[in-house]
Amino acid sequence: MKAGFSVFLFLCTLIGQAQIDVQHYRFEIELNDQSDGIVGKALVTIKFLSDASEVRLDLVSQEDEDGMTAYQVLEQRQRLVSSHKDNVLLFQLTKPAKKGEERTFEIDYMGKPKDGLIISRNQYGDRTFFADNWPNRAHNWIPCNDNPADKASVEFVVTAPSQYKVISNGLLVEEKAIDANRKRTYWKEDTPISTKVMVIGAARFAVTRVDSGYRVPVTAWVYPQDSAKGAYDYALADDILGYMEKYVAPYPYKKLANVQSKTIFGGMENANTIFYAENTVTGNRSSEALLAHEIAHQWFGNTATEKSFTHLWLSEGFATYFTSLYMEQKYGEDSFQKRLQDDRRQVIQFVRTFNHPVVDSTTDYMDLLNANSYQKGSWVLHMLRRTIGDEGFRKSIKAYYNQYKGSNADTRDFQRVVEETTGAKLDTFFRQWLYQPGVPKLDVRWRQQPNKAIELNVLQQSKVLYQLPLEIGIVYKDGSKEVQRVNISKAAESFQVPVKDMPAKVILDPNTNLLFDGKISEL
Ligand SMILES: [Zn+2]
């Protein structure tokens, strides 16, 4: 009986395969200069969330030249029956696990990483090793539960040729020569973090401490050829860290290393060990916004983390907006508005051809690195701040962070915290900005009326109607200005707006408070 047999198999799988919560990883990794192969030993401590007779971890399997081979899995020195294919490492437990139990497994493996650990040459031709795990590329080189919702503490013990310095998450425990040519470097991160932000880097580095001494050690790890420029450029990190601490909460880690690297991204926010693209070192601090973005991620993304990449804006939108806020306090309101205007232009351009909402369940995670997650996410926070006020916004951000630090949240969790903190009802706001695609498209016409008023006719041309406050800037002939506000919700609406005198000009959204596409003209 085919159908019944399938159901039986399905049930077995359900009972057998574990729901797991990894508590701790210890990775011992050997790097060398003779080949791009690595040798790894992983100790993975798993808490079972259900009874189980087998465990499944992610590890890219070997295909042609590249990928990993897990050649044995052990529990308390006993070899377990395991299989490693189709990027899944599956092993059978000799003694089934009970829900709530914690057990540690050893996985011995080797191979040439297909991705995730980039072994190449830097801009000076020097050999370098840089992990680059986002979004789920960690399992190219470490066996893990490669999911942002499963956080664990981690140790990296890296054996590498002696000429390299090795950086990783957490604090340095030991750096020791093991023979004439090799050394072992041991880093330990006690705070649970997602695999996407676990990292190692090995290269010739010049390391400079760049902090003011008030907070955790902040360092610049740059190529020796760039040591002076890099120390100068990355020293900005200390001030940014101070800004974020003041706005949000104390920095959640024990150090902040800023590393010049070969990440495929402009920057990658690896927990307390940020990797920046190698061209970010210029000697003229041209990457300040990038530093602010990656440092903001230490709170948003790394500590309060999205439950899944569907809610990536909780990471990228926050990092983008906090960059603008940092730039606002440092360079003033004009630079803040200019950033928002640039972001708005990018969103308008992007949504013309991309019909997904910000909360996007696509499984092509690289596709999520787009203007929805970053610039529109940032704009949502900006409009939220304008809706609930500066103080309500600040309190909500702190409350959200404090509630979800060390764990994971989704968009509804964030909405609930803001509503509880401020008393505001935000269903419409969240629905229209985050769960439906696009931006409002407005066509506004105005004409002078008798009795010191103008008539304002507003057409919403987007497919769905928005409810929003629209600010109108009225500029008089003597150069004076005022701002009036109308609340729009219909496809076509008309308003009488009082004015002091015949306006010389009427402009939309003079203070850059609304994400919209549109124009105003005189009738
Ligand atoms: Zn980011």
Domains 211-300 and 441-522 are alike in CATH topology: no
pLDDT in tens, 426-480: 999 999 999 999 999 999 999 999 889 999 999 999 989 999 999 999 999 999 9
The structural domains of the chain, with segments of one domain joined by +, span 14-204, 211-300, 305-435, 441-522
Q: What pLDDT, on the 0 to 100 scale, is given for residue 450?
A: 87
Task: Tell me the CA–centroid distance for residue 269 and ligand 1, in Å.
Answer: 7
Task: Tell me the CA–centroid distance for residue 337 and ligand 1, in Å.
Answer: 20
Task: Tell me the CA–centroid distance for residue 294 and ligand 1, in Å.
Answer: 6
DSSP assignment string, 221-244: EE-GGGHHHHHHHHTHHHHHHHHH
Task: Tell me the CA–centroid distance for residue 119 and ligand 1, in Å.
Answer: 23
Categorize the per-residue pLDDT at 8 as very low, low, confident or very high, splitting at 50, 70 and 90: very low
Task: Tell me the CA–centroid distance for residue 319 and ligand 1, in Å.
Answer: 6
Q: What is the mean pLDDT of the chain?
A: 96
Residue 16 reports pLDDT greater than 70: no
Task: Tell me the CA–centroid distance for residue 452 and ligand 1, in Å.
Answer: 49
Residue 15 reports pLDDT greater than 70: no
CATH number of 441-522: 2.60.40.1840
Task: Tell me the CA–centroid distance for residue 306 and ligand 1, in Å.
Answer: 13
pLDDT in tens, 129-186: 999 999 999 999 999 999 999 999 999 999 999 999 999 999 999 999 999 999 999 9
Alpha helix segments (H runs only) across 352-407: 377-404
Q: Which fold has domain 305-435?
A: Neutral Protease; domain 2 (1.10.390)
Task: Tell me the CA–centroid distance for residue 266 and ligand 1, in Å.
Answer: 9
Q: What span, in angstroms and rounded, lies between the C-alpha atoms of 291 and 294?
A: 5
Residue 251 reports pLDDT greater than 50: yes
Q: What pLDDT, on the 0 to 100 scale, is given for residue 463?
A: 86
Q: What is the mean pLDDT of residues 10-15?
A: 44
Task: Tell me the CA–centroid distance for residue 518 and ligand 1, in Å.
Answer: 29
pLDDT in tens, 300-347: 999 999 999 999 999 999 999 999 999 999 999 999 999 999 999 999
Q: What is the mean pLDDT of residues 487-507?
A: 96
Cβ-based neighbour number of residue 470 at 10 Å: 24
Task: Tell me the CA–centroid distance for residue 121 and ligand 1, in Å.
Answer: 25
Task: Tell me the CA–centroid distance for residue 378 and ligand 1, in Å.
Answer: 11
Task: Tell me the CA–centroid distance for residue 47 and ligand 1, in Å.
Answer: 30
Task: Tell me the CA–centroid distance for residue 435 and ligand 1, in Å.
Answer: 21
Q: What pLDDT, on the 0 to 100 scale, is given for residue 3?
A: 43
Distances (CA, A) of 351 to 284, 395, 461: 34, 31, 14
CATH number of 14-204: 2.60.40.1730
Q: What pLDDT, on the 0 to 100 scale, is given for residue 214?
A: 86
Q: What pLDDT, on the 0 to 100 scale, is given for residue 10?
A: 43
Task: Tell me the CA–centroid distance for residue 339 and ligand 1, in Å.
Answer: 16
Q: What is the mean pLDDT of residues 14-19?
A: 64
Q: What pLDDT, on the 0 to 100 scale, is given for residue 1?
A: 36
Strand partners, 184: 159, 176
Distances (CA, A) of 358 to 94, 344, 517: 45, 14, 17
Tokens for 421, please give them: 């903190």
Spatial strand order in the sheet of 481-488: 481-488, 468-476, 503-508
Q: What is the mean pLDDT of residues 39-45?
A: 98
Categorize the per-residue pLDDT at 54 as very low, low, confident or very high, splitting at 50, 70 and 90: very high
Categorize the per-residue pLDDT at 9 as very low, low, confident or very high, splitting at 50, 70 and 90: very low
pLDDT in tens, 252-261: 999 999 999 9
Distances (CA, A) of 38 to 66, 205, 483: 11, 21, 63
Task: Tell me the CA–centroid distance for residue 133 and ligand 1, in Å.
Answer: 13
Q: Which fold has domain 211-300?
A: Zincin-like (3.30.2010)
Task: Tell me the CA–centroid distance for residue 85 and ligand 1, in Å.
Answer: 32
